[in-house]
C-alpha cells in the first residue's frame, strides 16, 4: 500500500510539473523600443498607469508633484492608490528602473519620445537604491538637462525630492 501511494504521488508530481506554463516570459530589457509603441496606457487602471513594454514595469501615468525625503517616499509608494490598485504592489523604483525612463536627447523633462506621461517635472526623482559607499545617500534620476546631465546621481536621504511610483519587476537586492 505504501509503495502504491508513493508511486501515485510521484506520478502526480510528474504530471503537475510537466504542464506548460501559460504566462509570458518576463522582459529581458534586451529589446529597445523607440517611439509611442514602447508605452501603453492601461485602461484597467482607469488610464492612471502606463505599461513600459521595454522593461515590463508599470508606472504612474502622472507622478505626484510633492517632494519628500527618501524614507517618506518609500512609505508614500507603499500606500499609493493608482487607478484601481490601492496598496497593491506600488513601490519606489530601483535606480536602474527610474533611469530607464531618462532620454538625455529630449528637452526637459528628458523622457523618451512618444511617452504618455504627464506632470513629470524636469527635476530629481528618488530611487529605492542606497548609494553603496555611503548609506546616508540614495540614488535617483535627473530628468533635466540644463545645469546637470540627466541620468543617475545621488543625494542625501533627508533631502526633499520628487517621487514616481512603479509596480512589477523585482525591486532589486539593494532596496533598504
pLDDT in tens, 63-92: 999 999 999 999 999 999 998 766 778 999
Nearby residues of 40 by Cβ (< 8 Å), 6 or more positions away: 50, 51, 53
In this prediction, residue 32 carries a pLDDT of: 83
Model confidence, pTM: 0.79
Alpha helices in 19-169 (DSSP H): 70-78, 95-99
**Could you give all domains of the chain from N- to C-terminal order, each with its CATH number?**
25-167 (3.10.100)
> Residue 58, Cα to own-chain centre: how many angstroms?
6
Q: What pLDDT, in 10s, does the model give residues 106-136?
A: 989 999 999 999 999 999 999 999 999 999 9
Average pLDDT (36-53) is 94
Amino acid at each position: 500500500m505504501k509503495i502504491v501511494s508513493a508511486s501515485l504521488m510521484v506520478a502526480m508530481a510528474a504530471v503537475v510539473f510537466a504542464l506548460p506554463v501559460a504566462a509570458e516570459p518576463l522582459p529581458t530589457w534586451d529589446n529597445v523600443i523607440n517611439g509611442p509603441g514602447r508605452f501603453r496606457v492601461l485602461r484597467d487602471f482607469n488610464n492612471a498607469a502606463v505599461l513600459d513594454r521595454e522593461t515590463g514595469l508599470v508606472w504612474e501615468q502622472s507622478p505626484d508633484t510633492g517632494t519628500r525625503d527618501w524614507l517618506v517616499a518609500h512609505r508614500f509608494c507603499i500606500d499609493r492608490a493608482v487607478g484601481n490598485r490601492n496598496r497593491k504592489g506600488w513601490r519606489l523604483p530601483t535606480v536602474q528602473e527610474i533611469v530607464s525612463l531618462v532620454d538625455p536627447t529630449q528637452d526637459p523633462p528628458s523622457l523618451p519620445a512618444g511617452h504618455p506621461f504627464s506632470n513629470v517635472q524636469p527635476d530629481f526623482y528618488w530611487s529605492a537604491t542606497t548609494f553603496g559607499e555611503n548609506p546616508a545617500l540614495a540614488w535617483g534620476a535627473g530628468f533635466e538637462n540644463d545645469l546637470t546631465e540627466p541620468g543617475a546621481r545621488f543625494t542625501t536621504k533627508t533631502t526633499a525630492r520628487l517621487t514616481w511610483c512603479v509596480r512589477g519587476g523585482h525591486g532589486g537586492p539593494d532596496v533598504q
